[in-house]
Amino acid sequence: MLNGDIYDVVVIGGGPAGYVAAIKAAQLGGRAAIIEKGNMGGTCLNVGCIPAKTYLKNVEIIDELKNGNRRGIILDSSSITIDISKLKGFKDEVVTTLINSVVGLLKNNKVDIYKGVGRLVSNTHVSINDEDIIEGKSIILTGGSKVSKINIPGIDSNLVISSDEIFNLNDIPNTLAIIGGGVIGVEMAVAFSAFGSKVFIIELMDRIIPTMDQELSNGLLDELTKRGIEVYTSNSLKKIIEQKDKLHLYLDSGENIIVDKALLSVGRVPDLEALGNLNIKNEYGKIKVNEYMETSIPNIYAAGDINGLKMLAHAASRMGEIAALNAMGDKVKFNINNIPTGIYTNPEVASIGLTEDEARKKYDIVVGRFNFVGNGRALTSAITKGFVKVIADSRYGQILGVHIFGPSAVEMINEAAVLMEMEITVYEVGQIIHGHPTYSEALVEACLDCIGKSIYIPRA
């Protein structure tokens, strides 16, 4: 039933793309509505970034406690155990705080919130739970993504879980297999290994985190191995058999792993429930958009994971903002370059721009590097593993890619984003005075190493 409400912008999906789009449209003076079928905040707040980082902070604390003795911190007990119910409870508190703050911001901006499944019924009308219909001069699809499945025998076992369930486990499995060695897979491997599980990773490609720079894969593999995580690369899972509360995983290499639980983390696919019967162009299930976030149908935009351009929360939020700006009459392009990626293992992994292999194919490059073992702050923290690697164009010194494995990598990569976005060259970075002692000094030295001018790297 048409409820008579006409909005400038109707947003379907309340994740980082959706709530930012709705707030932006309202800030620009538009009447905005948002429809969410689950909890506000989407994957990121409820079952993604925030729960994962809450769990991974525990890894950092455990590692620090274990290393404390060397620097004179004496603990009474020699063993560290995790009360997973308590950790889950803490995670829930964090998630609730953030959801409330998003809902508060939406209300503060006078965005109307509808609970239910939103579905397009035309290019200007959206049904809610197939009942009420609201009208929008523009509609922004921000339905995000859902867990991708693989079709192998046994995958439907209850002991095979996804990232949607892992943060609600009440027991730490003794043994855990992780199917997929991408970002989510390696983060969960490090978390559960630190919590006491024996962890196995099965990865189809010849290396973990295969889309990132080879040296990051190598560094992280070394770290995972040191933690006792067994990694099976160039390997695919053929079938799973559940027997007496155990999973038997059969790999194509002929190996057989027996575990209590398996986490399926082979990627995510767009959630297209909002499309209804409208024929919006998509490619392999990803809604096709141009750089203005416009779909093939006028007035309808798609932002965030649903278009598959870059499945990251901060990219989703920027796309949501761009869609809202354009829906409200602007003409702004989404810049897909210079989007940082972070992995919150310990040490962390972060990356932006081209990998060395990609850069070599396109440009004449120089590569600079600085190892954290030569960085004062890293030494004081006793976290000296890792490096900063900078890839620059050999002619002008333009920074093409930065790859960091080490302490605070996911914070430092934002500085690299600024340098790259502002087109600051490796020649200029040395003129920007950085505080001392900081991890970021390693970034400066890696930039200077590109042109042979690092003070702290001994001459060859």
**Binding residue for ligand FAD, selected from 9, 26, 37, 412, defined by CB under 6 A:** 37
Binding of ligand FAD by 117 (CB under 6 A): yes
Residues 18, 136, 154, 181: which binds ligand FAD (CB under 6 A)? 18
Per-residue tokens: 344: 């919150």
Stretch that binds ligand FAD, among 86-94, 168-176, 298-306, 331-339 (CB under 6 A): 298-306
Residue 212 in contact with ligand FAD, rule: CB under 6 A? no
248 is catalytic: no
- CA distances, 138 to each of 21, 28, 125, 277, 301 (Å): 12, 14, 9, 18, 8
Shortest Å distance, C-beta 338 to ligand FAD: 14
Q: Map residue 187 onto helix, strand or coil.
A: helix
Q: Does 52 bind ligand FAD (CB under 6 A)?
A: yes
* SS3 state of residue 415: helix
Stretch that binds ligand FAD, among 46-54, 81-89, 356-364, 373-381 (CB under 6 A): 46-54
DSSP labels, 132-169? EEEEEEEEEE---EEE-----TTTT-TTEE-HHHHTT-
d(CA 61, CA 110): 40
Give the one residue of 33, 43, 134, 190 binding ligand FAD; rule: CB under 6 A: 43
36 belongs to the binding site for ligand FAD (CB under 6 A): yes
**Does position 38 bind ligand FAD by CB under 6 A?**
yes
| DSSP-based three-state secondary structure for 32 | strand
Residue 222: name the closest of 385, 53, 413 by CA: 385
Q: Is residue 314 near ligand FAD by the rule CB under 6 A?
A: yes
- Closest approach, Cβ 293 to ligand FAD, in A, equals 12
Q: Which two tokens stand for residue 79?
A: 């063993």
Candidates 58, 124, 145, 197; binder of ligand FAD (CB under 6 A) is 145
CB of 40 to ligand FAD, least distance (A): 7
Query: In terms of C-beta density within 10 A (0-12 exposed, 13-18 middle, 19 or more buried), how is residue 330 classed?
Result: exposed
Nearest residue (CB) to ligand FAD, 15 versus 386: 15
- Using CB under 6 A as the binding rule, whether residue 142 contacts ligand FAD is answered as yes
Assess 312 for contact with ligand FAD (CB under 6 A). Answer: yes
Q: Which residues pair with 246 in a beta bridge?
A: 243
181 touches ligand FAD by CB under 6 A = no
* Contacts of residue 321, Cβ cutoff 8 Å, sequence gap at least 6: 20, 21, 24
| Close Cβ partners of 390 (under 8 Å, ≥ 6 residues apart) | 367, 368, 369, 399, 401, 402, 416, 426, 443, 446, 447, 449, 450
Using the rule CB under 6 A, give the single segment among 47-55, 248-256, 328-336, 392-400 that binds ligand FAD.
47-55
Map residues 270-289 to x or -, x wherever contact with ligand FAD holds by CB under 6 A: -x-xx---------------
Residue with smaller CB distance to ligand FAD, 235 or 317: 317
Q: List Cα–Cα distances, 286 to 142, 283, 295, 345, 346, in angstroms.
A: 12, 5, 11, 29, 33
Other beta carbons within 10 Å of 190: 24
Catalytic position from the list 125, 248, 403, 436: 436
Interface pick for ligand FAD out of 177, 194, 289, 313 (rule CB under 6 A): 313
Strands 387-393 and 365-371: antiparallel
Q: Confirm or reject binding of residue 304 to ligand FAD (CB under 6 A).
A: yes
CB under 6 A: which stretch of 1-9, 24-32, 141-149, 232-240 binds ligand FAD? 141-149
* Alpha carbon distance 373, 385 (integer Å): 7
Nearer to ligand FAD, 334 or 370 (CB): 334
Burial class (CB in 10 A: 0-12, 13-18, 19+), 361: exposed
Beta carbons within 10 angstroms of residue 310's beta carbon: 16
| Residue 9 binds ligand FAD (CB under 6 A) | no
Q: Cβ(368)–Cβ(390) under 8 Å? A: yes
Under rule CB under 6 A, residue 144 binds ligand FAD: yes
E strand intervals along 13-89: 32-36
CB of 167 to ligand FAD, least distance (A): 8
Which residue lies nearer to ligand FAD by CB, 48 or 401? Answer: 48
Q: Please, what is the minimum distance in Å from the beta carbon of residue 141 to ligand FAD?
A: 8
- Measured between its terminal Cα atoms, the distance across the chain in Å is 76
Query: Position of tokens 């006409």?
Result: 6
Task: Kindly tell me which residue out of 316, 354, 383, 412 binds ligand FAD, with binding defined by CB under 6 A.
Answer: 316
Q: Which is nearer to ligand FAD, 206 or 291 (CB)?
A: 291
Residues contributing to the site for ligand FAD (CB under 6 A): 12-18, 35-38, 42-44, 47-49, 52, 117-118, 142-145, 163, 184, 271, 273-274, 304-306, 311-314, 316
The residues annotated as belonging to the active site are 436
